[in-house]
């Protein structure tokens, strides 16, 4: 990184400086390309539900007089597509807002916090979620960020694993760090996809074709929240089957 403009005197220093600039330019270019791709993906994702809604509105306008039986069907479609759009817009806003917010630390008991979150969401899950912690631990971190990350990981575990399987939240305390993990018994994630899934809009093809609802933004947002609390968010294999998402962060 070039922090301030250095004084260069020899040809060697000039060459070094120009190499650093080139490097920086390449990185900047890659970043710009990535942002352009993101805007194009976002527009595409929004265009699909808009097209569907417009199609049904046109259909209703033309035919509802003669074919009142189509009304319910079309309205249900419009309802579903507009909800999909609302969800996507909320996620996009979250993604842009999140990068600007400072972290707000508070002290709280992690196991108590996790138990509470799990009992709130358990009724919406087909799988049984259990929390395993060796002991209660106090942490000093941003509770909103932690809540958002854990919820995303649990929602994914619910979506991508069979109904009768088990989901475990594991709290492992190390000297300085905590590993808060969500383990499922689902399809698991191939090594080649383990980093891709954190990219914006990235979905493994299997999830697309199996029609599991989603935008591919959940893990990108979760990683942004993780960065806000200086945590690492990554995935490993759950043996014999499934994946474990780890959030590793400092106790305070
Ligand atoms: P979404 O769930 O909306 O597609 P995410 O960003 O949350 O988006 O996840 C990206 C992709 O990672 C998913 O589409 C899915 O292919 C894969 N994935 C996420 N969590 C899991 C999991 N627990 N097990 C298997 N695959 C997963």
Question: What atom of ligand 1 comes closest to residue 220's alpha carbon?
Answer: 6
Residue with CA nearest ligand 1 atom 21: 156
User: What confidence score (pLDDT) does residue 159 get?
Assistant: 95
Residue 2: its pLDDT value, please?
Answer: 58
Residue 163 has pLDDT above 80, yes or no: yes
Ligand 1 neighbour 91 (Cβ under 6 A): no
> Does 157 contact ligand 1 (Cβ within 6 A)?
yes
pTM: 0.86
**Looking at ligand 1, which residue's alpha carbon is closest to its atom 8?**
216
Q: Among residues of the chain, what percentage have pLDDT more than 70?
A: 97
Yes or no: say if 215 and 201 are a contact pair by the CB < 8 Å rule.
yes
Closest residue by CA, ligand 1 atom 19: 156
Residue 154 clears pLDDT 80, i.e. is over it: yes
CA–CA dist 46, 89 (Å, integer) = 8
Q: Is the CB of 49 under 6 A from ligand 1?
A: no
Residues 175-227: pLDDT tens digits? Answer: 889 999 999 999 999 999 999 999 999 999 877 667 888 999 999 999 999 99
| pLDDT at residue 175, as a whole number | 87
Q: Quickly state the pLDDT bin for 134 (edges 50, 70, 90).
A: confident
pLDDT on residue 6: 75
Burial 42-80 (b: 16+ CB within 10 A, else e): beebeeebeebbeebeebbeeeeeeeeeeeeebeeebee
Closest listed residue to residue 203, CA positions, set 226, 219, 221: 219
Please report, for the chain, how many H helices and E strands are present, in that order. Answer: 6, 7
Q: What does the pLDDT look like over 65-106, one tens digit per residue?
A: 999 999 999 999 999 999 999 999 999 999 988 667 788 999
Whole-angstrom Cα Rg for the chain: 23
Mean pLDDT of the chain: 93
Q: How far apart are CA 81 and CA 75, in angstroms?
A: 10
Residue partners of 117: CB distance under 8 A and separation at least 6: 147, 150, 151, 154
């Amino acid at each position: 990184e070039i922090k301030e403009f250095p004084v260069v005197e020899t040809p060697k220093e000039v060459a070094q400086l120009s190499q650093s600039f080139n490097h920086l330019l390449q990185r900047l270019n890659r970043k710009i390309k990535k942002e352009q791709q993101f805007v194009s993906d976002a527009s595409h994702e929004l265009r699909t539900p808009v097209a569907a809604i417009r199609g049904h509105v046109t259909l209703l306008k033309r035919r509802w007089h003669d074919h009142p039986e189509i009304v319910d069907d079309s309205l249900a479609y419009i309802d579903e597509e507009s909800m999909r759009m609302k969800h996507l817009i909320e996620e996009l806003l979250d993604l842009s807002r999140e990068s600007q917010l400072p972290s707000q630390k508070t002290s709280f008991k992690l196991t108590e916090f996790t138990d509470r979150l799990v009992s709130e969401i358990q009724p919406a899950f087909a799988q049984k979620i259990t929390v395993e912690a060796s002991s209660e631990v106090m942490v000093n971190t941003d509770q909103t960020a932690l809540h958002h990350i854990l919820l995303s990981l649990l929602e994914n575990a619910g979506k991508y694993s069979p109904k009768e399987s088990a989901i475990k939240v594991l709290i492992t305390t190390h000297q300085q760090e905590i590993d808060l993990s969500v383990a499922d018994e689902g399809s698991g994630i191939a090594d080649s996809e383990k980093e891709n899934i954190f990219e914006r809009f990235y979905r493994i093809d299997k999830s697309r074709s199996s029609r599991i609802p989603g935008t591919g933004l959940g893990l990108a947002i979760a990683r942004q929240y993780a960065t806000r609390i200086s945590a690492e968010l990554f995935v490993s294999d759950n043996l014999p089957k499934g994946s474990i998402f780890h959030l590793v962060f400092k106790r305070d």
